[in-house]
Structures are given as structure tokens and as C-alpha cells.
Amino acid sequence: MKRHVAAVAALVVAASLVAGCSGDSGSDPKTFEFWSFTGINQKADVEVYTKAHPDINVKLTEVGSTTETAQALTAALAGGKVPDLVLIQGDDLPKFMQAPDNFLDLNSRGADKIKGNYLDWVMNQSTTGDGKIIGIPTDVGGLAIAYRTDLFKAAGLPTDRDAVSRLWPTWDDFLEVGKRYVGATGKPFLDNAPTSVYFQAVNQGTQRYYTPERKLDYGNAQVKSAFDLTLKFLAANVTAKQSSFSAGWTAGMDKGEFAVVAAPSWMLGSIRTNAPGTAGKWDVARIPGGSGNWGGSYLAIPKRAKNPTAAWNYINEMQSPNAQLEHFLTSGALPSTPSVYADPKLTSRSEPFFSNAPIGKIYTDSVTGLKPFYIGPDDGPIGTEFLNVLVSVEQGKVPPDKAWSTALANVKNAVEK
């Protein structure tokens, strides 16, 4: 569930949430405080849980963006009032893993007995070198492309999802389709290139910002290739220049101002929410390159939580394979529990909003057999710096020939102080 949006009020949010000191008035197994980030509708999961357990009181706070939530948690762990349960976005988790003693070792609650339920490469990210489990994974973000069938038809392009997938086995092919679309319609093909190209391509490699030996290496050839690919899309002028999750992006999606959006599994919910009037006009095709993952989150319990038992009971029930399957059926968030990937409920799952696309098969194919790269403690800030420079290029604020050097300088300033 990755939401790369700017943290515009993080300090204010953090200050309001951590004011005061943590006391110890005893554990309450019927109540817990839960911090989540916005945009993923954790309220729906909480409602499912409290409907099944009407005697449980869940105090849910949607803190803000993923970045804001991580910053508020950092401030709380430094001495403020911590929640009983917190949702941590996957790219933010590594920095918290540097101080695992801030969190409850979930093995003490039975995580060692259920860790085999989850994809190994996802579970490994929340497991310390000596075997402590800090978080339980909630989902993964298999990659795909959502496209408007009506707009493709108007451009003279195929609309059948298999035929569309065959149009773009590679990112260069995808760019050529974009040029055809713009040539036929005079309208933008893609919402933006930084998110819909860079953040997809950079998540398809065998290495991102760290070496397999866990050393910083953000200027490597795979990152440079994804960055240069994005510059090619910008030079071709095929985007609407609407940054993901901005007001213009939301309005443009609803009005059909662009035909294509990169859509990790969790993005389908954003499209449904932001463009409800476009139901049945979308479909889902394979991502260029065929596979990859962007996103995923973890539920963790701070060590100073007042009500750890109530928090663990929620994790244990709501992140079971069956519960993750049910969450997928209602929200589209892809389970991190591979035992359900062959379940007929998942394999036969089609999405009416997206022209009955078989999203269960499309997204599980995207992550099955994936060889993950190491995600380090500064992956989030590094990715943000690269993204911000590409956004600046798209908006005409940074010259393309200065983009790579600018990005490297900005990353160095951000993480190598």
C-alpha cells in the first residue's frame, strides 16, 4: 500500500499526537489505540473487527500520509505517548528496524507460529538478524496498468486486456503506445511519468538503492536506467503532468484527462474512490516488464504500548490468510499470504468497476516468483528525492540534462549528512 505523497504538516501532526507522557495504568484487553496512515481505509477493517467483537473499542487515528505517520511514530518513540498498534509502510519499516527494542517482539505473542503464513521475502523485512519479529505484513503491491477502454477505442487502440498487454511487453513499447495515443487524440496518455514510470521500473530490478550486502548504492545502473527511462517519457510529452494523489490528478482521473495510470493492487481503491463516475470504463493490463512490487505495510506494537494483548488479538485475527483474502475481495489489497493465491475466491475474482478484469490472477502473477531487493533504512527518503526531481523536470523547473546530477546531490544531502 505505498502512498508517496508530500508530508506537508508532519511536525504539527507529530506534536499533537505525542504531547504528554506515556503512563502505565494497566492493560485493557478490550481497548486499543491504533495509528494508521490515510488513503487505505483502515476504518473498514476496524468496522469488520468490531462487528465481530462488539465489546472491543478500537480508537483509530488516521495520522496523515505514510511519511507523516512515520514521523509521528518516531517522535512518540522518543518519549511521547505511543499507540498500542501502528501501521508502518514498507519503505519506512527499515529505519524502525534499526532500533527493534522500541517494539514488542511479536514472537512473544505467537508470531513464530504464524510466520510461515506469509511470503518469505516480505516476512524477512520485519525480522531481525537474531530472529525477533517486529511487524506482521498486511499486503503486497503487485504491479499492473489501469487504462480507459473508452479512450483507447477513441484513439484507435485495442481495448481487450490481453491485446493491450501485448502492446507493451517493454517500457519502450509502452512509450510508443503513448506516442500513438497522443498523436491520435492530441490528449495526454499518462497521468505522470515520475510515479507511473519511475516508481514502477525501479521496483522491477534486482537492486534498488542498496547493494545485496546492505551498502548504500543509489547511483547504480538499475536506478539510472529507470531514471533515464522516465526522462524519455517526459521528453516525449505524453503525460498530463498531474502528480499522483494531487487535487489535479483526482479531477483529471474523473474527467478522463489521461487514459492510463500505473496501478499497484492498492491503487484500484483510489481509482474507484476518486473517479466513481468512470465505473466500467477502466480495465487492467499487465505491467511492462511483467512483474514487480510497489508497496505493502506492517502492523507493529510499540514496546511501551498500554494494551498489547488487545493489539495482538487484532493482528492475529485480521492478518490471517482468510482475513487477508476477504480484505482483498473488498478492497483490492493483495494478500501477503501465498496460501490463498490458489483459492478460487481469489483466482476467480473479477472487478466490475474495471470491466470485470481478473485482478486476482493479474496481481498474483505479478508477485509470484519475485526476487526481492534489499530495502534499507533510507529507501523512503532516497526514493522521495529521486521522485521530486523528476516531478520538477516534468513541471519545467529542472532542466533534463541536470536532473540526474541534481537528484544525486539531493539524495546525498538527505541521507549522507
Task: Name the residue type at position 68.
Answer: E
Q: Which of 348, 330, 347 is nearest to 338 (CA)?
A: 347
DSSP 286: P
- 167 and 23 share one domain: no
Compute the distance between CA of residue 24 and CA of residue 3 in angstroms, rounded to an integer: 34
E strand or H helix that includes residue 62: strand 57-62
Residue 99 burial (CB count, 10 A): 11
- 134 and 203 share one domain: no
Q: Give strand pairing partners of 145.
A: 262, 285
In a domain, 1, yes or no: no
148 to 166, 255, 262: CA distances (angstroms): 16, 11, 12
- 163 and 224 share one domain: yes
Residue 46 burial (CB count, 10 A): 18
Compute the distance between CA of residue 100 and CA of residue 132 in angstroms, rounded to an integer: 8
- 377 and 256 share one domain: yes
Q: Which of 347, 371, 387 is the last residue before a domain boundary?
A: 347
Q: Kindly give the confidence (pLDDT) of every residue in the chain, 417 residues in length, as a single tens digit, with 9 standing for 90 and above.
A: 444 433 333 333 443 444 433 334 467 889 999 999 987 778 889 999 999 999 999 999 999 988 899 999 999 999 889 999 999 999 899 999 999 999 999 999 999 999 999 999 999 999 999 999 999 999 998 999 999 999 999 999 999 999 999 999 999 999 999 999 999 999 999 999 999 999 999 999 889 999 999 999 999 999 999 999 999 999 999 999 999 989 999 999 999 999 999 999 888 888 998 999 999 999 999 999 988 888 889 999 999 999 999 999 999 999 999 999 998 888 778 999 999 999 999 999 999 999 999 999 999 999 887 778 889 999 888 999 999 999 999 999 999 999 999 999 999 999 986
Tell me whether residue 248 is exposed, middle or buried, using C-beta atoms within 10 angstroms of its C-beta: 0 to 12, 13 to 18, 19 or more: middle
- 392 and 374 share one domain: yes
- 150 and 76 share one domain: no
Q: Which of 414, 335, 333 is nearest to 378 (CA)?
A: 414
E strand or H helix that includes residue 60: strand 57-62
In a domain, 5, yes or no: no
- 165 and 307 share one domain: no
Cell numbers given for 58: 478500537
In a domain, 107, yes or no: yes
DSSP-derived pairing of the beta strands 145-148 and 85-89: unpaired
In a domain, 3, yes or no: no
E strand or H helix that includes residue 298: strand 297-300
In a domain, 356, yes or no: yes
Which CATH number is 338's domain given? 3.40.190.10
- 164 and 24 share one domain: no
For the chain, what's the residue count?
417
- 282 and 362 share one domain: yes
Which residues lie below 8 Å from residue 77, measured CB to CB, with a gap of 6+?
99, 102, 302
Q: Which of 377, 413, 399, 385 is nearest to 194 (CA)?
A: 385
- 328 and 372 share one domain: no
Domain that holds residue 266: 145-294+352-415
Compute the distance between CA of residue 365 and CA of residue 383 in angstroms, rounded to an integer: 25
